[in-house]
């Protein structure tokens, strides 16, 4: 009897611990399942059309959008031709990122329409739309995995040769080979073992591997030092070749060669044109330019 009690002690203890774990898991999973059950506010079309973004123009037609009572964009009319580099410039909170989010269909405008190739993007499946847009942001999303796997997220199933070629074009191949395991080096959560410039070049390599015809750059170099910015800018120039690019920039030095600069102020387009023309006009852009290049 005493021997039986000693034998039963550990299983009973494990059973008690298991009950506690089940209760904790149930509480955590309820929140996760509640999130998964949330309905998407962006409706999918019943019969989606096939999107061919390559060679297609992008048009913002009288787009109006507000967050609650706060107007973010008002009557935006903008034509982006295929292959153009269009830069969005303005103060923080003027609506630049909102414009990019509408193109990605994170939201739908309250009025107006956004068209690719003359077709309203609400007629395309969101999965199809986002598959043809590559995004490089200031906040780089990297995972606690190998460099190879982080680049491969741009196009799952890509071959090793394609991953290495993308790294070459992003000027990342050299620093990757300097790592202990090369492309198989685990970079830690959010890429903590890499510098800011190296993280950005991995994000650019991912976008190159995606090979999407439309590219969105959201202040991709604003958090970098001068040396890192030069390396990242060279990689961005390589990425933008042959793509329709929407570039959100605070550093005007990165968009001086843009085909079209759009100045947004309080949700409205106040100026458009190339750099030289806008500086000569003496408007909002000229004031922004003087603030950054006064010295």
**For the segment 174-218, what is each residue's pLDDT rounded down to a tens digit?**
889 988 888 899 988 888 888 888 888 888 888 888 888 998 988
DSSP 8-state assignment for residue 41: S
pLDDT number for residue 250: 77
- Where does the pLDDT of residue 228 fall: very low under 50, low under 70, confident under 90, or very high at 90 and above? low
The reply to whether 43 falls in a domain is no
Residues 99 and 33 in one domain: no
pLDDT number for residue 191: 85
Query: What b/e readout covers 87-97, taking b as 16+ CB neighbours within 10 angstroms?
Result: bbbbeeebbbb
Residues 115 and 228 in one domain: yes
Contacts of 185 (CB under 8 A, 6+ apart): 146, 147, 176, 179, 193
- Structural domain for 6, as ranges: 1-38
Residues 142 and 267 in one domain: yes
The reply to whether 87 falls in a domain is yes
Q: How many CA atoms lie within 13 A of 3 on its CB side?
A: 0
The reply to whether 51 falls in a domain is no
Residues 87 and 162 in one domain: yes
pLDDT at residue 49 greater than cutoff 70: yes
pLDDT at residue 160 greater than cutoff 70: yes
Residues 164 and 194 in one domain: yes
Q: What CATH number does the domain containing 130 carry?
A: 3.40.50.300
Domains of the chain: total: 2
Cβ burial of 37 (10 Å; 0-12, 13-18, 19+) is exposed
Residues 25 and 92 in one domain: no
- Where does the pLDDT of residue 148 fall: very low under 50, low under 70, confident under 90, or very high at 90 and above? very high
pLDDT at residue 223 greater than cutoff 80: no
Beta bridge partners of 76: 63
CA 203 to chain centre: 9
Residues 94 and 232 in one domain: yes
Inter-residue contact 123 to 42 (CB < 8 Å): no
pLDDT number for residue 280: 86
Q: State the Cα–Cα distance between residues 59 and 53, nearest whole angstrom.
A: 12
CA dihedral for 140, 146, 148, 152, sign (positive or negative): negative
What global pTM score does this model have?
Answer: 0.79
The reply to whether 44 falls in a domain is no
pLDDT number for residue 238: 77
pLDDT number for residue 113: 92
Mean pLDDT of 123-147: 88
Residues 170 and 276 in one domain: yes
Residues 97 and 16 in one domain: no
pLDDT at residue 295 greater than cutoff 70: no
pLDDT top residue among 290 and 246: 246
Q: Could you identify the residue written with the tokens 């390396």?
A: 231
pLDDT number for residue 267: 87
Residues 171 and 288 in one domain: yes
The reply to whether 49 falls in a domain is no
pLDDT at residue 235 greater than cutoff 80: no
The reply to whether 137 falls in a domain is yes
Residues 27 and 93 in one domain: no
Inter-residue contact 202 to 235 (CB < 8 Å): no
The reply to whether 124 falls in a domain is yes
pLDDT number for residue 193: 87
When the pLDDT of each residue in the chain is averaged and rounded to a whole number, the result is 86
The reply to whether 53 falls in a domain is no
Residues 98 and 18 in one domain: no
Mean pLDDT of 110-134: 90
pLDDT at residue 13 greater than cutoff 60: yes
Q: State the Cα–Cα distance between residues 284 and 262, nearest whole angstrom.
A: 11
């Amino acid at each position: 009897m005493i021997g039986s009690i000693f034998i039963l002690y550990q299983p009973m203890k494990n059973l008690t611990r298991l009950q506690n774990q089940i209760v904790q898991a149930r509480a955590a999973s309820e929140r996760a399942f509640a999130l998964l059950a949330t309905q998407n506010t962006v409706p999918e079309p019943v019969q989606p059309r096939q999107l061919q973004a390559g060679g297609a123009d992008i048009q913002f037609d009288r787009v109006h959008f507000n967050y609650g009572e706060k107007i973010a964009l008002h009557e935006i009319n903008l034509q982006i031709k295929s292959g153009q580099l269009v830069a969005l410039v303005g103060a923080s909170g003027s609506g630049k990122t909102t414009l990019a989010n509408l193109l990605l269909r994170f939201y739908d405008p309250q009025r107006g329409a956004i068209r690719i190739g003359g077709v309203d993007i609400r007629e395309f499946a969101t999965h199809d739309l986002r598959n043809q847009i590559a995004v490089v942001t200031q906040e780089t999303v990297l995972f606690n995995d190998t460099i190879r796997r982080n680049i491969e997220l741009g196009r799952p199933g890509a071959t090793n040769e394609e991953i290495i070629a993308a790294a070459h074009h992003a000027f990342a191949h050299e620093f990757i080979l300097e790592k202990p395991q090369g492309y198989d080096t685990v970079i830690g959560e959010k890429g903590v073992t890499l510098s800011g410039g190296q993280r950005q070049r991995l994000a650019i390599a991912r976008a190159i591997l995606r090979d999407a015809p439309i590219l969105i750059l959201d202040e991709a170099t604003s958090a970098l030092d001068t040396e890192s910015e030069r390396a990242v800018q060279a990689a961005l120039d390589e990425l933008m070749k042959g793509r329709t690019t929407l570039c959100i920039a605070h550093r005007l030095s990165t968009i001086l060669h843009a085909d079209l600069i759009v100045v947004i102020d309080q949700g409205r387009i106040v100026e458009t044109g190339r750099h030289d023309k806008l500086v000569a006009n003496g408007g909002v852009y000229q004031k922004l330019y003087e603030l950054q290049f006064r010295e």
